[in-house]
């Protein structure tokens, strides 16, 4: 099956003339004459960008998602290709309306007109894994209904298998393969693709994000109508707004575009550092702007999570970057074990400074993040930095945010916008506010352990082993010193616990 899929990929590439991209490279110019003779029968009236988009659509969801990511990188792509790939965000061909009706009636085991008061069989959006229809519930509530594409799971399995094969070859044959962990990266990608195939999981993601931003002036998330949800179908509140990519339409509505760009940065850092739970597919096709100037998030199939360790590490690195404290950045990498322990911190610091210093105090329009990422990659290779698969989604989201920020406001100062937020977050984590917050979090557990302390201390003091009395007497003085320290520690803990309980009760 993999061989057939590989042959199909090659045939699609040839049919749409994608070999033009390869043969256009100087390193393979010797193959141009040979290829031109072998493929003399092909003539293309359609531009190369449109052929690339159509080829990705033909190959299916993984390739469409790849094109979606590329479409946000206008600093890396020619204009014609970036514009054409942007159409992948909401213009993937829909599947047949008869299949829509059949799927709904299979899931609900009832005719479609008994499930919904109204249902529009023409989709309002068609994406790589699912498509969305507008409907009206039996009580008259407007709703959006998301339905999985028929047979999509099998297609994804085959494509992921090919990715694993390619990653295995990369890891075995390329000297950088082991450090880059391509198979682990594919495994992370596969996990999130699996999540997209379960719309109940996506509904849970949407519900969590909505709860995180309840009452927020920054972000609005649709309500999930759980009684109508299933693995193949998700029903949620119908949202309205202007696509964030339509900048002129937003200006015509009176939206403050620079402020909107800054709000996007704040939403990103809030999701990452406050919640450790972030929307990881924030391309322009998934974002609207409502009448109140808030972002409206759509499509919650790919969400990222971070542990407290990840959040603390990232915050310290971001803050060190913004403060140009490159030694702290280098030391954080060593402490995290991302570079070998014998790495000279001063050399690593110098290499990071050479990459990052030129980009400060510049607006986005003057920064090529593609070149910055390339130089960081070269630096990481030199110092054997290990790629962390759990952060690949965050890296992808950062690229999406940069692409969105560039589109809205090329003069946006990313560093100036983000630095105050990170400083405030670090103060809340490390300062006295962070201490009080952690004490409040631990108070219930301490309250449960406190009554047991006398019994635990008595057991520790009364334990005796079966060794000869002489050996036990030789250790008596040392044991008494340890016991004294233990009693002092317990007394201190009791005092702190009482103070904490008073704070919780009367604070």
- Give the lowest-confidence range in 124-133, 301-310, 490-499: 490-499
Which band of pLDDT confidence, cut at 50, 70 and 90, is reported for residue 257?
Answer: very high
**Residue 476 confidence (pLDDT) above 60:** no
463 is catalytic: no
Instruction: Report which secondary-structure segment, H or E, holds 242.
Output: strand 242-243
Among the three residues 413, 430, 447, which one is the final residue of a domain in this structure?
430
Q: Is 340 part of a structural domain of the chain?
A: yes
Residues 251 and 332 in one domain: yes
Q: At residue 377, does pLDDT exceed 70?
A: no
Judge whether 137 lies within some domain. no
**457 falls within a domain:** yes
493 and 475 both lie in a single domain: yes
Choosing from 75, 195, 275, 281, the catalytic residue is 281
Higher local confidence (pLDDT), 189 or 63: 63
Are residues 486 and 381 both part of a single domain? no
* CB of 285 closer than 8 Å to CB of 243: yes
Lowest mean pLDDT among 159-168, 285-294, 466-475: 466-475
Boundary-marking domain end, from 161, 176, 192: 192
**pLDDT for position 226:** 96
- Report if residue 96 sits inside a domain: no
- Same domain as 382, residue 456: no
Beta strands in 52-152 (DSSP E): 118-119, 125-126, 130-136, 142-148
Look at residue 90 and tell me whether its pLDDT is greater than 60.
no
CB 280 within 8 A of CB 304: yes
Q: What angle do CA 389, 156, 128 make, to 5 degrees?
A: 95
Percent of the chain residues topping a pLDDT of 70: 66
CB atoms within 10 A of CB 461: 12
Instruction: Verify that 175 and 295 share a domain, yes or no.
Output: no
Q: Which of 373-387, 453-467, 477-491 has the highest mean pLDDT?
A: 373-387
What pLDDT, on a 0 to 100 scale, did the predictor assign at position 211? 97
- Whether residue 358 is found in the same domain as residue 412: yes
Statement to judge: residues 394 and 444 lie in one domain: no
Please indicate whether residue 251 or residue 385 has the higher confidence score (pLDDT): 251
**262-303: pLDDT as tens digits:** 898 889 888 988 888 999 877 777 899 999 999 999 989 888
> Do 261 and 396 share a domain, yes or no?
yes
Whether residues 337 and 461 share a domain: the answer is: no
* 247 located within any domain: yes
Residues with Cβ within 8 Å of 366's Cβ and at least 6 positions away in sequence, in order, are: none
In this prediction, residue 143 carries a pLDDT of 97
Identify the residue with better confidence: 444 or 129: 129
Q: How would residue 117 be classed by pLDDT, with cut points 50, 70 and 90?
A: very high
The answer on pLDDT for 478 being more than 70 is no
Per-residue model confidence (pLDDT) at position 387: 60
Does 132 map to a domain?
no
Q: Is position 479 within any domain?
A: yes
The residue among 387, 108, 103, 388 whose CA lies nearest residue 227 is: 108
pLDDT, position 260 = 92
Rg (CA), the chain: 28
Q: Share the mean pLDDT of the chain.
A: 76
Determine the pLDDT at residue 115. Answer: 94
The reply to whether 424 and 458 lie within a common domain is no
For the record, the structure tokens of 247 come out as 């900048």
382 with 326, same domain: the answer is yes
The answer to whether position 403 is within a domain reads yes
Percent of the chain with pLDDT over 90: 24
Among 412, 430, 448, residue at a domain's last position: 430
Does residue 254 sit in the same domain as residue 318?
A: yes
- Which residue did the predictor score with more confidence, 411 or 101? 101
- Please give the tally of structural domains in the chain: 4
pLDDT at 24 over 60: no
Q: Note the pLDDT of residue 228.
A: 95
Section 48-58 average pLDDT: 85
Q: What residues make up the domain containing 459?
A: 436-506
């Amino acid at each position: 099956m993999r061989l057939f899929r590989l042959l199909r990929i090659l045939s699609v590439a040839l049919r749409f003339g994608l070999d033009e991209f390869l043969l256009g490279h100087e390193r393979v110019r010797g193959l141009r004459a040979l290829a031109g003779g072998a493929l003399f029968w092909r003539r293309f009236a359609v531009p190369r960008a449109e052929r690339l988009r159509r080829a990705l659509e033909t190959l299916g969801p993984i390739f469409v998602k790849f094109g979606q990511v590329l479409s946000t990188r206008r600093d890396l792509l020619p204009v014609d290709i970036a514009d054409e790939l942007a159409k992948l965000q909401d213009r993937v061909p829909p599947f047949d309306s008869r299949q829509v009706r059949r799927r709904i009636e299979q899931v609900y085991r009832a005719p479609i007109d008994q499930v919904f008061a109204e249902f529009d069989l023409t989709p309002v959006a068609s994406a790589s894994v699912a498509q969305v229809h507008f409907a009206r519930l039996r009580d008259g509530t407007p709703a959006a209904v998301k339905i999985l594409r028929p047979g999509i799971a099998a297609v994804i399995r085959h494509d992921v298998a090919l990715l694993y094969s390619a990653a295995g070859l990369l890891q075995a044959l390329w000297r950088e393969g082991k450090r880059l962990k391509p198979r682990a990266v594919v495994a992370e990608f596969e996990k999130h693709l699996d999540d997209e195939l379960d719309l109940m999981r996506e509904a849970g993601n949407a519900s969590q994000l909505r709860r995180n931003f309840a009452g927020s002036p920054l972000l609005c998330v649709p309500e999930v109508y759980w009684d109508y949800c299933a693995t193949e179908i998700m029903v949620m509140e119908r949202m309205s707004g202007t696509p964030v990519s339509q900048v002129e339409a937003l200006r015509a509505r009176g939206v403050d575009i620079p402020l909107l760009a800054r709000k996007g940065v704040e939403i990103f850092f809030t999701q990452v550092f406050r919640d450790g739970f972030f929307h990881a597919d924030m391309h322009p096709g998934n974002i609207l702007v409502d009448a109140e100037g808030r972002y409206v998030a759509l499509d919650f199939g790919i969400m990222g999570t971070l542990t407290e360790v990840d959040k603390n590490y990232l915050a310290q690195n971001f803050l060190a970057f913004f403060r140009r404290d490159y030694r702290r950045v280098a030391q954080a990498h060593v402490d995290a074990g991302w570079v070998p322990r014998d790495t000279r911190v001063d050399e690593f610091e110098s290499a990071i400074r050479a990459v990052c210093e030129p980009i400060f105090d510049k607006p986005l329009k003057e920064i090529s993040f593609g070149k910055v990422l390339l130089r960081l990659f070269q630096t990481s290779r030199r110092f054997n930095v290990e790629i962390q698969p759990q952060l690949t989604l965050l890296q992808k989201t950062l690229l999406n945010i940069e692409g969105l920020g560039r589109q809205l406001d090329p003069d946006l100062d990313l560093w100036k916008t983000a630095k105050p937020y990170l400083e405030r977050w670090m103060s809340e984590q490390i300062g006295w506010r962070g201490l009080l917050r952690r004490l409040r979090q631990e108070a219930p557990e301490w309250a449960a352990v406190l009554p047991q302390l006398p019994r635990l201390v008595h057991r520790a003091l009364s334990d005796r082993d079966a060794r000869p009395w002489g050996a036990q007497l030789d250790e008596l003085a040392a044991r008494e010193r340890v016991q004294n320290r233990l009693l002092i520690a317990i007394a201190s803990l009791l005092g702190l616990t009482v103070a904490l309980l008073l704070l919780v009760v009367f604070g």
